[in-house]
Structure 1
């Protein structure tokens, strides 16, 4: 085959948002098929390129996944590259981007095996509600919303997360409940489309139920998303820059997804073709 579109065993045929990529590639004469990323029967020397897409179990075995990516990157063209995947699968990259001037959601980092006085933190920062999440995670796994009145009971959650990973502590952004997150999606460095998404954490209140595509202003948040890509400074076949409004009304980077994000291709009629053309250009 020409291109292996990488997914995981729980979704062997891609999801509805991503499935339009296959016929878009076929229109260009590219033989692309879903491939389970860790299938031992696959010989990546037999494909011209491999594109990481819905590998939605990779965060559960990050070390295994990164080692796999390094191996596959030596056998064929891998997108995004193994060094990008290693960098992006640990959220310490946010601290790096903040040091480069990107406005990131305020974060207190707790080292692996460490502890933190959450009551003192809420007092010193003035945060009414906290979000606790591991630095290696996806899909809101082990992400908790903790009101100030309950922080004393959250010590066990801190210990649970830091037993195996660094912990991120952030303020809960109330604008999530009405605005959600805005995702700016790029293919080969060029802006493709923007999507407004409800909170990933199912327990969070939400003002709308499903992701919707929207047309962004030329400046503002789109400019911030472009600043993020410039700060990353690496070639990326695809990127999704997620931003949100903080409690002071400032737009801040939440995450950069360059490993396995949903790109919501089915929400924009031309998005599958844009990505297909970007992939075909790599062959």
Structure 2
């Protein structure tokens, strides 16, 4: 018997907590807004961590993945959970869409249909490649290195011809475990920020501008970045 209409999915760090910092406050606020919106529609809701071993996912008609911000740190486990849940309930965002979006190899798909992306080289798990070779092959002055499955600035490094040697060891260690991506550094991130456009149900809703803290290039709030509304032009 299904007890719930929908489950809002978070992760262990944010499940059944009292917020103690700005990040936790934002997480709880976001999930609360979503949960109350569903409840106003007359839906019976529940909120729990994706790795809750006691929760029966077949007890809910729908599953909404919300604040699972440890998926990239526990990717093999999270992938197994996704595979299991899709057979027990209905994911609000389809399984194929979720798995496609989690892995930044999707940038190649976007490029193939004519959407401009930063120049990117993917280096697959276990491949024998060095940063020195990548700089030689690309000819770029600056680059960003990060895992293909990542978030919150995890193992994201800004490299140039003077400092890449400091990262050869960590690059080799990461590449032995997962696929990596090497992108030409976009200097306008420092001067203009990074714009994100939001689409829901195929319809444009709004845009935001993410700005890095002075002296940093990472726009995530984990590193002092800020977020504000952005008025996007139709072109």
The TM-score, its normalising length taken from structure 2, stands at 0.82
Offset at residue 69 of structure 1 (A): 1.4
CA distance in 1, matches of 2:44, 2:191: 42
1:210 and 2:210 are equivalent in the alignment: no
Residues 162, 51 of structure 1: alpha-carbon distance in 2 compared, 3 angstrom cutoff: same
CA distance in 1, matches of 2:165, 2:76: 33
CA distance in 1, matches of 2:35, 2:104: 30
The match for 1:139 among 129, 152, 161 is: 152
Unaligned runs of 5+ in 2: 17-26
Count of residue correspondences: 217
Partner of 1:7: 10
Q: CA RMSD in A?
A: 2.3
Residues 40, 194 of structure 1: alpha-carbon distance in 2 compared, 3 angstrom cutoff: same
Work out whether residues 89 and 136 of structure 1, in 8 Å CA contact, stay in contact via their aligned partners in 2.
yes
1:215-226 equivalences in 2 (<5 Å) = 215-219=231-235
1:179 and 2:192 are equivalent in the alignment: yes
The match for 2:110 among 89, 97, 113 is: 97
Partner of 1:50: 63
The Cα offsets for residues 206-230 of structure 1, whole Å up to 9 and x where unpaired, read as 7x942011221122xxxxxxxxxxx
The Cα offsets for residues 146-166 of structure 1, whole Å up to 9 and x where unpaired, read as 122112333212202101011
Work out whether residues 72 and 149 of structure 2, in 8 Å CA contact, stay in contact via their aligned partners in 1.
yes
Work out whether residues 153 and 218 of structure 2, in 8 Å CA contact, stay in contact via their aligned partners in 1.
no
Unaligned runs of 5+ in 1: 220-283
The match for 2:74 among 34, 51, 61 is: 61
Q: Look up the SS of the partner of 1:10 in the other structure.
A: helix
Work out whether residues 129 and 146 of structure 1, in 8 Å CA contact, stay in contact via their aligned partners in 2.
yes
Work out whether residues 58 and 89 of structure 2, in 8 Å CA contact, stay in contact via their aligned partners in 1.
yes
Residues 205, 51 of structure 1: alpha-carbon distance in 2 compared, 3 angstrom cutoff: closer
Work out whether residues 45 and 75 of structure 1, in 8 Å CA contact, stay in contact via their aligned partners in 2.
yes
CA distance in 2, matches of 1:38, 1:154: 33
Residues 154, 115 of structure 1: alpha-carbon distance in 2 compared, 3 angstrom cutoff: farther
CA distance in 2, matches of 1:129, 1:48: 48
The Cα offsets for residues 126-171 of structure 1, whole Å up to 9 and x where unpaired, read as 4222211111211111111112211233321220210101111112
